[in-house]
Amino acid sequence: MKLYYHPASTTSRPLMLFAAESNIPLEMQVVDLFTGEHYQPPFAEGVNPNRQVPVLEDGDFRLTESATILKYLAVKTKSPLYPEELKARARVNERIDWINTQLNRDLCYGLVYPQAFPHHKRPTDEHQKGTLAWAKERAAGWLSVLDKHIIGGNDYLCGSQITIADYYGASFVNTAAIIGSDLSGYPNIQRWLGNMKKLKSWGKTFEVVEGFAASLKGSFEKV
Ligand SMILES: N[C@@H](CCC(=O)N[C@@H](CS)C(=O)NCC(=O)O)C(=O)O
């Protein structure tokens, strides 16, 4: 199987981490988002007209959407990190959907990316300021739900056992570090991320995005 990805991509890192930790042999093909390779043929025309990573190819079967790819890899490898029991699996799916549709929209697309990536910056200062203010308030609300209700006293997003939802969520939540937030207002999230950072492949998976974050200058609106 071949994975098109970029290590600075939030949606690629859960797959990188899961494949590395689970010893899934993937042919790893970097698509250089920083030089716009994803806007050029053959990627843009042939591989993914959405012009985004990640993309998985399993023979002639091609799959986009990070959450779908993560579940596909987990099922294909019969991973214990994606429990088969109906309700346990539904809980994992619920967490992944929540991360992808709620937190991602306001924390990543609303607050972090417009400050970190020039092509996400809004066209005027007023527009940028309004976008950040809107997203900051909502991201704080989602983080509070995550901290108090989803994680609470648990070690992981679905209870005491690590699942693919943790692999997925950790990449998205950790984007706060790009804008210099240590999430100190959210002790349960900090503890959970601390658990995830103990995975042996965490350092290698996150080193590029950490380097990118360190290269950013200026002050940021933070959560
Ligand atoms: N819904 C897609 C979103 C993928 C996505 O947002 N990819 C970003 C990197 S994290 C990308 O390729 N961006 C290209 C760009 O911003 O030009 C998924 O979950 O796979």
Q: How many domains does the chain have?
A: 2
Would you give the distance in Å from CA 60 to the centre of its chain? 26
pLDDT above 90 (res 169): yes
Q: For residue 64, which atom of ligand 1 is closest to its CA?
A: 20
56, 127: one domain: no
Q: What is the pLDDT of residues 17-58, one digit of tens each?
A: 999 999 999 999 999 999 999 999 999 999 999 999 999 999
Concatenated DSSP letters for 26-81? -EEEE--TTTTGGGSTTIIIII-TT--S-EEEETTEEEE-HHHHHHHHHHHTT-TT
pTM: 0.97
20, 90: one domain: no
Closest-CA residue to 54 (of 42, 70, 66) = 66
3-state DSSP call for residue 3? Answer: strand
What is the span of the domain harbouring residue 59?
2-76
Query: Which residue is closest in CA terms to ligand 1's atom 11?
Result: 52
201, 95: one domain: yes
Residue 217: which pLDDT band, with cuts at 50, 70 and 90?
A: confident
Residue 218: which pLDDT band, with cuts at 50, 70 and 90?
A: confident
- Measured in Å, residue 197 CA sits from the centre of ligand 1 at 23
Whether 221 is in a domain gets the answer no
Last residue of a domain, which of 58, 76, 94? 76
Q: What is the pLDDT of residues 145-161, one digit of tens each?
A: 999 999 999 999 999 99
* Beta carbon of 104 within 6 Å of any ligand 1 atom: no
- Measured in Å, residue 202 CA sits from the centre of ligand 1 at 20
